[in-house]
A and B are shown apart, each in its own frame.
Chain A
Amino acid sequence: MKILFSLFISILILSSVNAQDVEVKNKFINHTEFGGLFGRVKYSNGSQQNTVDSRTSLTLQTFNGIQVSRKLGAGIILGADWYKSALINPVAAGIRYDLSGRPNARFFVIADAGYGFTWLHQDSDGYKTKGGWMINPGIGLRIGNVNTSSFTLSLTYKRQEVFAEKPLLWNQTERREERVYNRIAARIGISF
Chain B
Amino acid sequence: MKTQLLPLIIAVFSFGLFSCNDQCKETRITRRLTPFTRSLAEIRSSVKAESKRELVRPGKIYTKGNYLFINEIKEGIHVVDNSDPTNPKFISFINIPGNGDIAVRNNILYADSYSDLVSLDITDPANAKEVGRVQNVFQFGQFDGVSWSLMGQNSAAGMISIQDFTVDFVTETVTTSCEENVSPMLLSWLDSGFLSSASFNSAGSASSAQPNGQAGSMARFALYDKFLYTVQQNRLHLFNISNPSQPTDFTTVNTNFIIETIFPYQNKLFLGTTTGMIIFDNSDPASPTQISVFQHGRACDPVVVHNDIAYVTLRTGTACQGTQNQLDLVDVSNPANPKLIKTYQMENPHGLSIDFPTLYLCEGDKGLKVFDVTDKMEIDKHMISHFKDIDAYDVISLGKTLMLIGKDGFYQFDVTDPRNIRELSKIPVNKAIP
Contact = CB atoms under 8 A, between A and B. Distances in A.
Interface of A: 1, 3-4, 7, 11, 38-46, 50-51, 53, 55, 83-85, 99-101, 107, 124-127, 138-139, 155, 157, 164, 166-184
25 contacts: A1-B19, A39-B20, A39-B21, A41-B24, A41-B177, A43-B176, A43-B177, A107-B2, A107-B5, A124-B181, A124-B182, A125-B323, A139-B8, A155-B12, A157-B12, A157-B16, A167-B316, A172-B28, A173-B29, A180-B22, A180-B23, A182-B19, A182-B20, A184-B13, A184-B20
Given A7-B11, A44-B175, A166-B180, 16 more contacts: A4-B15, A41-B21, A41-B24, A43-B177, A85-B178, A107-B5, A125-B323, A168-B321, A169-B185, A171-B31, A174-B27, A177-B26, A179-B23, A179-B24, A180-B23, A184-B13
Contacts of B24: 41, 43, 177-180
Nearest to A164: B180
B350 to A, nearest CB: 16
Interface of B: 1-2, 5, 8-9, 11-13, 15-17, 19-33, 145, 169, 172, 174-182, 185-186, 189, 195, 316-318, 321, 323-324
A182 B179 CA distance: 14
A65 B16 CA distance: 27
Contact of B22 (A3, A40, A157): A40
Contacts of B179: 84-85
A143 to B, nearest CB: 14
A175 B27 contact: yes
Given A43-B176, A166-B180, A181-B178, A157 B20 contact: yes
B84 to A, nearest CB: 38
A100 to B, nearest CB: 5
Contacts of A85: 178-180
Main SS at interface, chain B: mixed
A84 B30 CA distance: 27
Nearest to A168: B318
A172 B31 contact: yes
B2, B9, B26 pick with most chain A CB within 10 angstroms: B26
B240 to A, nearest CB: 38
Contact of A182 (B23, B31, B180): B23
Nearest to B189: A170
Nearest to B146: A171
B393 to A, nearest CB: 16
B22 A45 contact: no
A155 B9 contact: yes
A101 B174 contact: no
Given A171-B33, A184-B20, A177 B180 contact: yes
Given A43-B177, A107-B2, A184 B16 contact: yes
Nearest to B25: A178
A143 B392 CA distance: 64
What are the nearest 10 A-B pairs in CB distance? A125-B323, A184-B16, A126-B323, A39-B20, A174-B29, A46-B174, A41-B22, A43-B175, A179-B24, A84-B179
B175 A42 contact: yes
Contacts of A44: 174-175
Given A43-B176, A172-B31, A176-B27, A182 B21 contact: yes
Contact of A174 (B12, B28, B176, B321): B28
Contact of B178 (A41, A107, A176): A41
Contacts of A180: 22-24
A174 B172 CA distance: 11
A43, A127, A167 pick with most chain B CB within 10 angstroms: A43
A172 B15 contact: no
Contacts of B174: 43-46
B318 A172 contact: yes
A183 B22 contact: yes
Contacts of B8: 7, 11, 139
A43 B323 CA distance: 26
Nearest to A11: B8
Nearest to A83: B178
Contacts of A175: 26-29
A141 to B, nearest CB: 9
Contacts of B1: 99-101, 107
A157 B33 CA distance: 45
A64 B365 CA distance: 44
A45 B20 CA distance: 19
A139 B179 CA distance: 29
Nearest to B22: A41
B21 A176 contact: no
Contacts of A7: 8, 11-12
B316 A168 contact: yes
B169 A45 contact: no
A41 B185 CA distance: 22
A99 B27 contact: no
